Amino acid sequence: MLLAIDIGNSSAKFGVYDRAELLKTFNVPAALKTDASSLKNIIRSSLVEPIDAVAVSSVVPEFTRIISGVTEELFGIRTTLIDSRCDLGIEIMYDPPAAVGTDRIVAASAAVTRYGAPVIVCDIGTATTIDAIDAAKRYLGGTIIPGPRTMAASLEKGTSQLPEIDIRKPENVVGNSTETSIRSGIFWGSVGIVEGIVARMKAELGGSPKVIATGGWAETVAAETNCIDIVEKDLVLRGIAEAFYRNS
């Protein structure tokens, strides 16, 4: 029984795997990333399954150290770190390979395993990454842009009179107030960015790549565009689990 952990900027997502079967998931907010006591309580209360292994993919090193210490204390198991040095079933062309976010390459690996190559992976969250894997199963890289909430926070911090607002689908594209104008710009801007980059990436890749979306905003954006073929919310967790089993 494997506990797979995806440590991102906004939260840490946990998934319990029995080989290929995902049994459950739960999240820990980023606000608790330095609170070992709270982490321990959340993990302990969320699990009834006996855990035999722990594998972590992380883009937040300081959180990795704390959560690894907590899981080792709870389960008596050394944490396996999944990164670019592992066999992921894809060739990483990024320069250097160690610089690419582990969440990006494990998601790419899982997408290739499930849907074949070429494939495009859109992870729409705190940051939105759109990555390309060619027909030879080579991870080529991609694009990194701010996610919807990051755009909203940036406007609020970088301007003197624009408020931070909640982001949701607006009633109209044309906003008739500052709040609705910001909401429309960020929401439809995010959709348009994904559509534009995916179209250009498909032309660059050639063939007929499937487009897989994951991340907290994946379902919202996918509902407003035809450029996304499949939404798989647990793609990164699946990639972590597959990498662990492949390398062990």
**pLDDT tens by residue, 102-115:** 999 999 999 999 99
- DSSP codes, 212-241: EEESTTHHHHHTT-SS--EE-TTHHHHHHH
Query: 148-158 and 178-205 are packed helices; what angle lies between their axes, rounded to 10 degrees?
Result: 130
Task: Output b/e per residue, 171-190; b: 16+ Cβ within 10 A.
Answer: eeeeeeeeebebbbbbbeeb
77 shares its domain with 113? no
Q: Any idea which residue has 């798989």 for tokens?
A: 232
**What are the two backbone dihedrals, phi and then psi, of residue 111, each rounded to the nearest 5 degrees?**
-65, -40
**The domain boundary residue, chosen from 21, 54, 81:** 81
Domain that holds residue 14: 2-81
**Range scoring the smallest mean pLDDT among 30-44, 124-138, 190-204:** 30-44
**Range scoring the smallest mean pLDDT among 31-40, 82-91, 235-244:** 31-40
Residue 136, domain member (yes or no): yes
Instruction: Grade residue 196 by pLDDT with cuts at 50, 70 and 90.
Output: very high
Q: Which of 6, 35, 83, 103 is catalytic?
A: 103
**pLDDT tens by residue, 6-55:** 998 888 999 999 988 999 999 888 777 667 888 888 998 999 889 999 99
Q: Assess whether pLDDT exceeds 90 at residue 198.
A: yes
- Is 134 in the active site? no
Contact 62, 34 (CB under 8 A): yes
* Distance from C-alpha of 212 to C-alpha of 124, rounded to nearest angstrom: 11
Average pLDDT score over residue span 190-202: 97
110 shares its domain with 208? yes
Contact 244, 87 (CB under 8 A): no
Residue 86, domain member (yes or no): no
Residue 245, domain member (yes or no): no
Average pLDDT score over residue span 111-135: 96
223 Cβ neighbours under 8 A, 6+ residues apart:
none
* Distance from C-alpha of 31 to C-alpha of 167, rounded to nearest angstrom: 20
The pLDDT score that the predictor gives to residue 16 is 96
Residue 98, domain member (yes or no): yes
> Whole-prediction pTM value?
0.91
